């Protein structure tokens, strides 16, 4: 069964647009606006990360043996399975993305926000790669 990928496409595109806009504008913004723009990018990162792992989970359930598809008890194991099946190249960066995502949901700290913003920049090509691989293998 083919996955409906439109929501993932929109989420990854929104992250890209927010990163592009923020990189153009950050130097000219005052501190309050910089914080606001950074918060928007972080929100788009959170949504894109959540969509990515959920689509990986859906793809695995539809395309992998039931023994293996039922096995992932954690997201880390899900990312390992995705790597074994060629959806992602390496699970390790995805572990870091998950750690950054968890930071944003528990507390707000400016240093953490800056760090997660940087992670969002790193995450975008991985999300785009996953989307491309899902599109190629979506049958």
Which of 58, 106, 133, 137 does the annotation list as catalytic? 106
Active site residue 80: no
Which of 44, 101, 133, 137 does the annotation list as catalytic? 101
Active site residue 101: yes
Q: Is 115 exposed, middle or buried (0-12, 13-18, 19+ CB in 10 A)?
A: middle
Structure tokens at 59: 């793809």
Enter the DSSP assignment of 137: T
Structure tokens at 18: 């927010």
Q: Is 117 exposed, middle or buried (0-12, 13-18, 19+ CB in 10 A)?
A: buried
Q: Among all residues, which ones are annotated catalytic?
A: 101, 106
């Amino acid at each position: 069964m083919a996955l409906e990928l439109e929501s993932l496409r929109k989420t990854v595109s929104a992250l890209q647009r927010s990163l592009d806009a923020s990189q153009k504008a950050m130097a000219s913004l005052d501190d309050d606006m910089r914080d606001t723009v950074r918060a928007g990018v972080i929100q788009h990162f959170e949504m894109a990360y959540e969509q990515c792992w959920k689509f990986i989970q859906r793809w695995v359930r539809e395309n992998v043996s039931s023994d293996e598809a039922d096995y992932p008890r954690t997201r880390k194991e899900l990312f390992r399975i995705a790597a074994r099946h060629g959806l992602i190249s390496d699970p390790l960066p995805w572990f870091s993305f998950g750690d950054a995502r968890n930071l944003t949901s528990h507390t707000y700290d400016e240093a953490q926000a800056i760090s997660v913003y940087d992670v969002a920049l790193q995450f975008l090509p991985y999300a785009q790669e996953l989307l491309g691989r899902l599109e190629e293998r979506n049958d």
